[in-house]
Structure 1
Amino acid sequence: MGLITQPIEALPFSAFRLFQVNGSRKEFEKLYFDRRRRLAAFAIAALAEDDAAFIPALEDIIWALCEEYTWCLPAHLHVQDPEAEDDAPRQVDLFASETAHALSEICHLFKDRLDPLIVKRARLEVMRRVLNPYMQLKRVFGWEMATNNWSAVCAGSIGMAAIYMIQDSRILMPVLNRVFEAMACFLEGFTEEGACLEGLGYWYYGFGYYVYFAELLKQRTGGKVDLLLDEKKAQHIAEFPQFCFLQENHVANFSDCGRTSGIQTGLFSRLCQRLEQLRIPSLTYRSNSIDHCGRFATAMRDLAWTDYALLEKREGLPLRSEFLQEAEWMVSRCQVGGKLISFAAKGGHNGEPHNHNDIGHFVWVVDGVRWLEDLGAGLYTRQYFGDERYSILCNS
């Protein structure tokens, strides 16, 4: 209940402009994501506990999001022309898309519990900021042709928002067809064996939204469209974590990936329900339902989809050596002298997304201790994704 009593922090211009001034992202993004975590926390609490006490707080944070200058992060705004600044509220990036999905789904779930004005305004903002710009035939966003997480997260979020917001199938179908094209580009970014060259964290992010959209679409079409089972490559992609996890929560953290990772119980439950061959790592290490960015889609599906009985049946990765031929990743898990030893090595090339110039690098873990290490991802700044990328130690 403590969060309810804390005021919603403003998003000051001084923090907003820091990315432009010195490339720093963390000051503004901390405030921005605090708001999204608050949105997810109040919505999940109101659903899980069926407590009306959370509704006024949920209404306040929805109202605050509707007041924001733009739902885009400053780092993702591609507005250079001062005369075009009015376009910033209608720029669509990862988090504008996620915000649109979160508000549309919350309005659907709470339409009889929220003040009608809140529902009306949230839906208007979703249409004004995201769906209407996306539905303009002459406008194409760069991420629609991306072969990385952007195409799945942005298109998947927009597709889900459209399913909630647009009841007329004649209007909805052109939107979904455009989403399908972006999703096809997303799948192209994986190797044929299903490897995500961006690393496990981005597998969770991009493929998670692919699954979230696919499942809602399957529901909307009465099971007639099933992107998970209709796409053979998607099934291979679902198996990728089986290669990444070395032991316990340790992962082969090539590219921009953390050293350790938990499992998202909602996503893995749904994948295990759909794919009989899927195995999962240890259930001891579970990701927080509400992550550092406050992603509502993940938190909601952890609540709605998690099936611990099923996960327990699939728990435990085999002790064996595996090679992803196209990605040129090798992972080995074995038991020697009573010790669990895991080894991972990477070939590939330096033109990969989130590249770290890490050809030939390897990781060695013995009984939960990392003896040979990969530094993993660094702090995201303008310099991190610019010309100075390889002056940063972990990337070079």
Structure 2
Amino acid sequence: MASSIAFCNPKRNLLTDSYTRKFVNSVLAKDYSWITYPSYSDRMGWSQLPEEVRKKTIQEGEKYIGYDWPIFTATMYLEFTRAGNRSIIDEAISNRLRALRSLVMAELMEGEGRFIDDIINGVFTYCEQTYWGSSAHFYLYGFGNSDPNGSINDPYTVLPDIDNPIIDLMASDVSADLAWIWYFFHEEFDKISPVISKRLKHELQNKILSPYYERNDLWWMTGWGEGDVIFERSNWIVNNWTPWITSNMLTTILLMEGNPDTKLYGIYKTMISMDIFMNTYPLDGACDEGPSYWRHAGGKLFDYLNIFRKATNGAVDIFNDELIKNIGRYIYRVYISNGGHYVNWSNAAQIIRHDGGHIFRFGEAIGDPVMKKFGAFLLRESNFGKETITGNIGQSLENLFHLEKWQDTRPSEPLIHEFYFPESELAFARDKEETNDGFYFAAWGNNNSGGHNHNDVGNCILFFNGTPVLVDVGRGGNGTAMHNLPLINGIAQSTGGKYKANDSKFSSSTRKVSFSTDITKAYPSQANVNKWTRSYTLIRGEKFSIVDRYQLSQNSGNTAFHFMTGLQTRLIKPGVLELHSEDYTLQMKYNPFLVAIDIEEKMFRNEISRITFNLINTELSGNMLFEIVKAR
């Protein structure tokens, strides 16, 4: 499961409080005039695309001519409940969808009918499939009357139930893609047999549209408080599932629903869900699911608002709201360096590749030149315009036909000097603005709630010259001892919203940036800690320091400070640890009379080492200073 955001903000209701059903009905396009891409028959429109894009996209589609569409067997689904393995079914879903998308984009580019038969085979394969989603999401079926809260690994059915259709992330992705396929090709299909389009429409109705209209018990629609609460996390409301699925639902409804009253009902239902999602977001725009999930949270919010604005000829438009702007700006504010390094709190990888077109178009929508320049930078880095177009069909179409101005925008990295997200308690700063030279640090407070929680309140990351020094290992590295944090009396932080930071403070000047947070309450009572404040200070152009000020009620002798690094380590002498890369050498200085050092080389994924400083001071209170400087 993905993580979530709790109701900690006012119910803004940016959509439903601004636009009534009557108003939406009056401005909603009654036909397909809102679609701004060439039709399949408009060969002139498709021929305007760059020749290199068309050539490579067609070549990609040619790989799937005569494709043997895989069948999903019962045992593939059963593998999740039997062995906890979701990868077999998820990989099959991904591979099949990649083939279908490649064939579709190739046929749209070429327009000669070479790929039509294979597209039809793909469509019929999906039509014959009971369920388009993942076995890991069978909990959406429910758990029966005897155990309504149940377990995610023990739903009432371990195989797809044709009489109880559910909608998860993957099913919604398939739905939107198939809706676009129907729109572009139903006339071509009808030349072969009207049964094809009729069947496709029938399956979209039964598997997606009818369940969406009729159900309110799927948590991503209305939040955990209204849907099935199964994780015993009362503060879980919604997460990236809501904009991800809802943007796909809006696409499917707009393309496939022929009844005007039902269409309006469905669209307004999407507005309610999106308001719930936006109500939960902090005003500072920080994504509590981290920068990897931003594409599915804030990014899918953009997709939803973008298509809604198009379908109403600009009449429904909230891109000027400060919350929406901040949700977009978040992704460049947490950018660090080299096209893929971001502040990877939560469940983010150490290197993330974002779609530059997505970011550029979001920047255009909110009128943010920094975001547009960042999108242009990523587009240039990805060689956009000279490579195959991949991904979901709607996103591909937007990038193909609505990035006219990106080459007129000066590409640049958003190397921001400093920033603080006050609601999310996320701080960062670098030595010099608009350059990677020197130190960059980020640190956070917040709390230990949510599905992507790593029990890492007070954690930090550190970069030098644009490369990582102290890292958050990201996915797979859950737990306090896998972060740049202390175990207090051998005890790690605990999970839940009550395990949180307090009194977080950020200050900055030309020379100095500081962030401090009280992490006492992030630990359970067994840690026997009365007070623990973690402070970070960047003296620009000089050093980075970490200070722990603590008061214990008991000192059991097994308090330890952990630091994770991918650099080579060498103990120069007691009190000086060398951190070495190919391009620079740093020194980490500490008091050897207070701690004893231990290094576990490459203990995580054979890449990351853990440096442990074991507290040997027997006093109940004290200060511990770590300083990192460039070696002379």
Unaligned runs of 5+ in 2: 1-61, 142-154, 224-236, 479-493, 496-603, 606-632
| Residue aligning to 1:191 | 282
Aligned to 1:62: 123
**Residue number in structure 1 paired with 2:419:** 322
**2:427 matches 1:349:** no
Q: Deviations over 1:322-348 (max 9, x none)?
A: 111111111223349982543221211
Distance in 2 separating the partners of 1:190 and 1:71: 30
Distance in 2 separating the partners of 1:289 and 1:250: 24
| 2:240 paired with 1:142 | no
CA displacement at 1:93 relative to structure 2:
1.0
Amino acid at match of 2:297: G
Paired residues for 1:293-332 under 5 Å = 294-307=391-404, 309=406, 312-313=409-410, 315-332=412-429
Distance (whole Å) between structure 1 residues aligned to residue 206 and residue 213 of structure 2: 11
Relative contact order, higher structure (CA 8 A, sep 6+): 1
Scaled by the length of structure 2, the TM-score of the pair is: 0.56
Correspondence for 1:103: 178
CA distance in structure 1 between the partners assigned to 2:70 and 2:158 by the alignment: 29
- Asked if 2 retains the 8 angstrom alpha-carbon contact of 1:70 and 1:88, the reply is no
Tell me how far apart the structure 2 counterparts of residues 296 and 379 of structure 1 sit (CA, whole Å): 34
Q: Which residue of 2 aligns with 1:11?
A: 72
Q: Residue 103 and residue 324 in structure 1: after superposition, are their counterparts in 2 closer, same or farther (change >3 A)?
A: same
CA drift at 1:189: 3.2
Determine which structure has the larger helix proportion and give its number: 1
- Deviation, structure 1 residue 7: 1.7
Is 1:169 aligned with 2:230? no
Report the CA distance shift for 1:379/1:361 in structure 2 as closer, same or farther (over 3 A).
closer
Q: CA–CA distance in 2 between the matches of 1:227 and 1:148?
A: 20
Cα pair 2:346 2:454 within 8 Å, conserved: yes
Give the superposition deviation at 1:245: 1.0
In terms of mean alpha carbon deviation, does 44-53 or 236-245 score higher?
A: 44-53
C-alpha distance in structure 2 between counterparts of 1:257 and 1:205, whole Å? 13
Q: Distance in 2 between matches of 1:44 and 1:334?
A: 45
When structure 1 is superposed on structure 2, of 101-110 and 263-272 the one drifting more is: 263-272
Residue equivalent to 2:430? 333
Aligned pairs for 1:348-367 (under 5 A) are 348-367=446-465
The percent identity for this pair of structures is: 22
Query: Are 2:287 and 2:297, in contact at CA under 8 Å, matched by a contact in 1?
Result: no
Cα distance in 2 for partners of 1:186, 1:142 equals 12
What is the alpha-carbon root mean square deviation over aligned residues? 2.9
C-alpha deviations, 1:236-265, integer Å up to 9, x for none? 111111122111221111111121222313
Question: In structure 2, which of residues 317, 320, 323 is the aligned counterpart of residue 233 of structure 1?
Answer: 323
Q: Report the Cα offset of residue 56 of structure 1.
A: 1.8
Distance 1:363 1:18 in 2: 38
Of Structure 1 and Structure 2, the greater strand share is in 2
Shift of 1:156: 1.6
Cα displacement (A) at 1:226:
1.6
1:121 to 199, 207, 212: 199
Q: Structure 1 residues 6 and 338 mapped into 2: Cα distance closer, same or farther (>3 Å)? A: closer
Distance in 2 between residues matched to 1:27 and 1:187, nearest whole Å? 34
Q: Does the C-alpha gap of structure 1 residues 83 and 50 become closer, same or farther in structure 2, counting only changes over 3 Å?
A: closer
Gap change, CA 1:10 and 1:338, over 3 Å in 2: closer
Structure 2 CA distance for partners of 1:202 and 1:186, relative to 1, 3 Å: same
For the structure 1 residues 47 and 132, does the alpha-carbon distance in structure 2 shift closer, same or farther, using more than 3 Å as the test?
Answer: same
Q: Report the 3-state secondary structure (helix = DSSP H, G, I; strand = E; otherwise coil) of the residue aligned with 1:339.
A: coil
| AA of the residue aligned to 1:200 | P
Q: Which amino acid aligns with 2:442?
A: A
Q: What is the CA distance between 1:51 and its match in structure 2? A: 4.4
Q: Quote the offset at 1:173 in angstroms.
A: 1.2
Residue type at the aligned position of 2:424: A
Q: Alpha carbons of 1:311 and 1:9: their partners in 2 closer, same or farther (altered >3 Å)?
A: farther
2:85 is aligned, of 24, 27, 40, to: 24
TM-score w.r.t. length of structure 1? 0.86
CA 1:203–1:88 in structure 2 vs 1: closer, same or farther (change >3 Å)? farther
CA deviation string 1:269-295 (max 9, x = no partner): 32222222242444254499877xx53
1:74 corresponds to 2:135: yes
Superposition deviation, residue 18 in structure 1: 0.7
Aligned residues: 380
- Aligned pairs (5 A) from 1:39-54: 39-54=100-115
